[in-house]
Structure 1
Amino acid sequence: MVIESDLSCSGLVRRFAGHAAVDHISLDVPAGTFFSILGPSGCGKTTLLRLLAGFDRPDEGDIFIRGQRMNDVAPNKRPVNMVFQHLALFPTMTVGDNIGYGLKRKKVPAAERRRRIARVLEQVGLPGLENRNPQDLSGGQRQRVALARCLVLEPTLLLLDEPLGALDLKLREQMKIELKHLQKAFGTTFVYITHDQSEAMVMSDQVAVMRNGRFDQVAPPEVLYREPATPFVAGFVGDNNRLAGKVVSVADGLASLRLEDGSVVHGRLASEGLGPGALAELYIRPESLVFTGADSPAGFSSLNARVRATLFDGANSRVEAEHLGQPIFARLPQDGSAPGLVPDAHLPLAWDPALACVFGVGSL
């Protein structure tokens, strides 16, 4: 079955003073998708969003929304709406007037406006609040009003520019779940900009990890986490330990590295063209590490580590250790399954090689 794309971009470039803030970006977003663009500050996320919204024009490439080229279409003529970080609600208008502002500008009759405002307030969980002032609402309620103001216009795309950034931590956690539920309920395609990996991982169907104006990887969240395509993705998405060494051998999709002390460790080969003698780094997630007795599980890779401290971390214990003076940490469940984790204890630290990634030093 062919899924219609709500958004397609091909070879987008936007330069400022000779620097490509967006550098040959191509993407395809199926209808009804929650698509996030994740990356550090300055990577080009907001510039890309401005191109999609029509606030800026690309130097090269094309933007299509439902098959129609948008490069020369004004922002107010695109089937797109946008939610900003600071919401931009009108403080002197009621909730209903805020939500109905766009409908009024489109000359939708008053009776139809009232009907659509009441319906969208019901859908976002704020029924009966149309006569309230935004200042009288909680932060989460104002967030939903801002969403309702956009969704009432039934856009093809809803662009969200770090909309949770101004909320406190607890409210952000709550709104992540609510945003995902709302997106599924409305069926609107969301394109969400964030530097917060937890937001992207929790809410998204697909995530594009952006760096220096380009996408390093576009994939579902679980693929980004388990099978990062580059060292940058491995380091930016979730926590990782890194062990540097030299490749000894490559076979059956696994690479063996010799560390500085002569230890040989193993992980999944993640860089093409990596062979014996190459400098490489092994990335391993802290929750993939286990402290074992004298014998590691069959097929596991291991090295000796010195325990520095065990810290309570909610549902887990964070075990700080070191190997050759290099910090390394594990995340273990609070079930007492790893006795002997006391400061200065020397214990084997093991992992399944399939859960580790080996990248060549200098890999993109």
Structure 2
Amino acid sequence: MGMDSDLYCEGLVRRFDNNAAVDHISLDVPAGTFFSILGPSGCGKTTLLRLLAGFDKPDEGEIHIRGQRMNDVPPNRRPVNMVFQHLALFPTMSVGDNIGYGLKRRKVPVAERRKRIGQVLEQVGLPGLEYRDPQELSGGQRQRVALARCLVLEPTLLLLDEPLGALDLKLREQMKVELKHLQKQFGTTFVYITHDQSEAMVMSDQVAVMRDGKFDQVAPPEELYREPATPFVAGFVGDNNRLSGELVAIRDNLAEIRLDDGALVRGRVASGDLQTGHRAELYIRPESLVLSGEVLNSGFSAMQASVRTTLFDGANSRVEAENGGQPVYARLPQDGSAPTLSAGSFIRLAWDPALARVFGAGNP
């Protein structure tokens, strides 16, 4: 357990009908960290959050908050607050009364309550709205009121259960930035669960990628993106192309794969179970692929692909092609230098092997 840990868990297990929804999870979250748990629906992330909040008890393992064991501490006694996707603001109370509800239950004097409500409204960018009706506020403003209601209680941990899921796309993008700023401003440790990898990558200091009750990898966002530890992380975090073929050789930590169309391509070894003669998978990001009439550098890998279509999305515009029946996406250059790409035409795609990752095809 780190000396500055706000949250430390070891060997957490929670079973339902002999199935482990949380399967020997351990984590150590330093104070002041924005820590996200990212994974698909059904991976166990909400069950894990309920264990941390105290709404459920682990079958095995330990939960410590600020060095204190929490396994048998009820939710209302833990230094924890929670923000849900459905904000559950009290509709018959003003904004100020919503925010001060927890302070009132703690019997904080009226003058102190008003002072703290005013302070926290300033901090979340809603000064002077104490007497407004929550129904009069925008979705983003209600989101900040829900955060203020928790943060005014000065919890050690703020647990957030997909809180942006009910917002429209533009507001969700805006709130991602605001949440990141608010967390740094308050210095409170956030534990945030989401299935949206963009949310986790933009906001977090550390991200735990969860699958089938376990963590596949815990790392800063950039490391997850550039150095995925498993094929699942490589495929789940960001866009990635997956090319399958036969492993021919490994030299200087580079794996050489023969694709099904016969092309020999290379990428960095990412797992220790690679065997020549067996199937392997190469992952390469669309932005790492270069549309090239010729290989740009003698060290580059290249392959031929047949164009299916082009997809316009502003700065993220790309071409969809295929190699041996396997779909491949490549980012289109923004300077207009891309050749005319018609369906059925052939293009050459090249990449620096150092930017690709190779895993054994038998990996989970």
Fold agreement, TM-score > 0.5: yes
By how many angstroms is 1:3 displaced?
5.7
Structure 2 equivalent of residue 213 of structure 1: 213
Count of equivalent residues: 363
1:358 is the counterpart of 2:355: no
By how many angstroms is 1:56 displaced?
0.3
1:236-275 mapped onto 2 (5 Å cutoff): 236-275=236-275
CA–CA distance in structure 2, aligned partners of residues 275 and 160 of structure 1 = 43
Is contact 2:86–2:166 with CA below 8 Å preserved after alignment?
yes
Structure 2 equivalent of residue 180 of structure 1: 180
Structure 2 equivalent of residue 162 of structure 1: 162
CA–CA distance in structure 2, aligned partners of residues 345 and 37 of structure 1 = 42
1:114-133 mapped onto 2 (5 Å cutoff): 114-133=114-133
CA–CA distance in structure 1, aligned partners of residues 338 and 251 of structure 2 = 32
CA–CA distance in structure 1, aligned partners of residues 74 and 326 of structure 2 = 54
1:342 is the counterpart of 2:342: yes
Q: Which one-letter code corresponds to 1:362 in the other structure?
A: G
CA–CA distance in structure 1, aligned partners of residues 354 and 243 of structure 2 = 16
Is contact 1:117–1:152 with CA below 8 Å preserved after alignment?
yes
Structure 2 equivalent of residue 192 of structure 1: 192
Q: Root-mean-square deviation (CA), in Å?
A: 1.1
Consecutive unaligned residues of structure 1, counting only runs of 5 or more, are none
Q: Which one-letter code corresponds to 2:164 in the other structure?
A: L
By how many angstroms is 1:295 displaced?
3.3
CA–CA distance in structure 2, aligned partners of residues 199 and 11 of structure 1 = 27
Q: Which one-letter code corresponds to 2:14 in the other structure?
A: R
By how many angstroms is 1:309 displaced?
2.0
CA–CA distance in structure 2, aligned partners of residues 70 and 137 of structure 1 = 37
1:73-84 mapped onto 2 (5 Å cutoff): 73-84=73-84
CA–CA distance in structure 2, aligned partners of residues 295 and 356 of structure 1 = 16
For residues 10-41 of structure 1, the C-alpha deviation after alignment (integer angstroms, 9 at most, x for no partner) is: 00000011110000000000000000000000
Question: What TM-score comes out, normalization by structure 2 length?
Answer: 0.98
1:135 is the counterpart of 2:142: no
1:316 is the counterpart of 2:323: no
1:222-301 mapped onto 2 (5 Å cutoff): 222-301=222-301
Residues 1:190 and 1:363: Cα distance change in structure 2 (over 3 Å)? same
By how many angstroms is 1:86 displaced?
0.4
Q: Which one-letter code corresponds to 1:64 in the other structure?
A: H
Find the residue that maps to 1:315 and give its secondary structure: helix
Structure 1 equivalent of residue 329 of structure 2: 329
Find the residue that maps to 1:330 and give its secondary structure: strand
Structure 2 equivalent of residue 11 of structure 1: 11
CA–CA distance in structure 2, aligned partners of residues 145 and 335 of structure 1 = 44
CA–CA distance in structure 2, aligned partners of residues 97 and 295 of structure 1 = 66
Q: Which one-letter code corresponds to 1:115 in the other structure?
A: K
By how many angstroms is 1:273 displaced?
2.9
CA–CA distance in structure 2, aligned partners of residues 102 and 290 of structure 1 = 56
Question: What TM-score comes out, normalization by structure 1 length?
Answer: 0.98
Residues 1:349 and 1:3: Cα distance change in structure 2 (over 3 Å)? farther
CA–CA distance in structure 2, aligned partners of residues 315 and 266 of structure 1 = 28
Is contact 1:296–1:348 with CA below 8 Å preserved after alignment?
no
CA–CA distance in structure 2, aligned partners of residues 264 and 86 of structure 1 = 51
Is contact 1:246–1:257 with CA below 8 Å preserved after alignment?
yes
Find the residue that maps to 2:235 and give its secondary structure: helix
Consecutive unaligned residues of structure 2, counting only runs of 5 or more, are none
CA–CA distance in structure 1, aligned partners of residues 77 and 114 of structure 2 = 23
CA–CA distance in structure 1, aligned partners of residues 346 and 334 of structure 2 = 21
Is contact 1:245–1:280 with CA below 8 Å preserved after alignment?
yes
Residues 1:277 and 1:41: Cα distance change in structure 2 (over 3 Å)? same
Find the residue that maps to 2:98 and give its secondary structure: helix
Q: Which one-letter code corresponds to 1:304 in the other structure?
A: Q
CA–CA distance in structure 2, aligned partners of residues 3 and 185 of structure 1 = 22
By how many angstroms is 1:338 displaced?
2.4
Q: Percent identity?
A: 79
1:32-47 mapped onto 2 (5 Å cutoff): 32-47=32-47
Find the residue that maps to 2:103 and give its secondary structure: helix
CA–CA distance in structure 2, aligned partners of residues 50 and 164 of structure 1 = 18
Structure 2 equivalent of residue 63 of structure 1: 63
By how many angstroms is 1:190 displaced?
0.1
Residues 1:328 and 1:63: Cα distance change in structure 2 (over 3 Å)? same
CA–CA distance in structure 2, aligned partners of residues 295 and 182 of structure 1 = 47
Higher mean displacement: 316-325 or 52-61: 316-325
Find the residue that maps to 2:267 and give its secondary structure: strand
Q: Which one-letter code corresponds to 2:83 in the other structure?
A: V
Q: Which one-letter code corresponds to 2:212 in the other structure?
A: N
CA–CA distance in structure 2, aligned partners of residues 150 and 298 of structure 1 = 57
Q: Which one-letter code corresponds to 1:104 in the other structure?
A: K
